[in-house]
Amino acid sequence: MKLMLGVAIAILTSALSAAPQTDKENQASRPIPKLPSLTALSALIMDAAALQAPADRKTTAGGMMIYQIVVDKNGNLLRSEPITRIQDLQPNADEAIKTWRFKPIESGDSRMPWWSFVGICYSPGWATLLPCAPPPSELQDYTPQTIPTRLYTAGTGSLGKSGQNFGLDLHPDRTPNSPYPSAARDARVQGIVQLDVVIAPDGHVSQAKIISGHPMLTGAAVKLAQDTRWTPPTFLNHAVEAEIHLNVGYSLSGPH
């Protein structure tokens, strides 16, 4: 464990020395802050590279590969160091995390560098490795069998389309009827509302955040998402949160 702690310190020291010259004076006066894992992964740009890393090696092992990462003020990954390993999948995970990019984190009027613990999860039978958030813990407490707080699933699905599977065997158990917003219909407004949705371990929606969409449609879309019930998300037989991207479509020519 002393070796692991030494590696963690070395990562932060190395990242500081690699930062741009213009920031050295500020960094000398304050250390790089640590972000909670959920905050760090909320800034992850959810593109195909981040969410669809292949698990192309056959293995019966499952668990979470935890990394300590350091990110510069522009959201670029400076350093990543594995803390826990799954031998058969480690090469895939190491390559996947190198592609991660983050939205800049602001402190006051300026952007800031930061560091955090993040995870890459795999369960036997999955086709891809998925980003996941380790629970708050000390470095020496993490193991590959640590259960994540939240999983981040690949792709964007649409509520109201039958037969969809959102990954992790996750699908709506109940989608309520959602009438077309009358004001939007009268104004001939149609389109797609994109949402970021967090599904709680019991299957209810604990958070629905608007990514884009017409203001006359977003309220109804958020309510539809909040009223939808899902199969409870699990990882290695443990209940966890799952974060997904949802589209809710409204068309004047047919059902959404």
What is the DSSP track for 154-196? EEEEETT-TT---STT--EEE----PPPHHHHHTT--EEEEEE
Question: Are 240 and 132 contained in the same domain?
Answer: no
Asked if residue 170 is part of any domain, the answer here is: yes
Q: Where are the alpha helices (DSSP H) in 187-254?
A: 215-227
pLDDT at residue 15 above 80? no
pLDDT at residue 70 above 70? yes
Query: By residue range, what is the domain housing residue 110?
Result: 2-148
Report which listed range, 11-15, 55-59, 223-227, is most confident. 223-227
DSSP letter at 139 equals G
Last residue within a domain, chosen from 97, 121, 148? 148
Question: Are 19 and 130 contained in the same domain?
Answer: yes
| CATH code, domain carrying 240 | 3.30.2420.10
Residues 142, 37: Cα–Cα separation, whole Å: 13
Question: Are 21 and 125 contained in the same domain?
Answer: yes
pLDDT at residue 164 above 80? no
Last residue within a domain, chosen from 117, 148, 179? 148
Residues 82 and 67: beta-carbon distance below 8 Å = yes
pTM (2 d.p.): 0.78
Question: Are 143 and 157 contained in the same domain?
Answer: no
Q: What's the start-to-end Cα distance of the chain, in Å?
A: 54
- Average pLDDT of the chain is 82
Structure tokens at 46: 């959810």
pLDDT (0 to 100) of residue 153: 80
Question: Are 83 and 178 contained in the same domain?
Answer: no
Question: Are 226 and 193 contained in the same domain?
Answer: yes
Strand-pair category, 205-212 with 191-199: antiparallel
Structure tokens at 148: 């994540």
Question: Are 144 and 75 contained in the same domain?
Answer: yes
Question: Are 26 and 116 contained in the same domain?
Answer: yes
Residue with token string 């996947």: 96
Asked if residue 47 is part of any domain, the answer here is: yes
Upper half-sphere CA count for residue 205 (Cβ side, 13 Å):
23
pLDDT (0 to 100) of residue 127: 78
Question: Are 142 and 165 contained in the same domain?
Answer: no
Question: Are 144 and 170 contained in the same domain?
Answer: no
The whole-number average pLDDT for the span 160-164 is: 54
The whole-number average pLDDT for the span 57-68 is: 83
CA angle in degrees (0–180, nearest 5) for 110-113-119: 135
Residues 111 and 27: beta-carbon distance below 8 Å = no
SS3 label, residue 220: helix
Residue with token string 């443990």: 238
pLDDT at residue 133 above 70? yes
Question: Are 193 and 111 contained in the same domain?
Answer: no
The domain tally of the chain equals 2
pLDDT (0 to 100) of residue 14: 52
Residue 76 sits at φ, ψ, to 5 deg, of: -90, 140
Please name which of 254, 199, 208, 210 lies closest in space to residue 232, comparing C-alpha atoms: 199
Asked if residue 256 is part of any domain, the answer here is: no
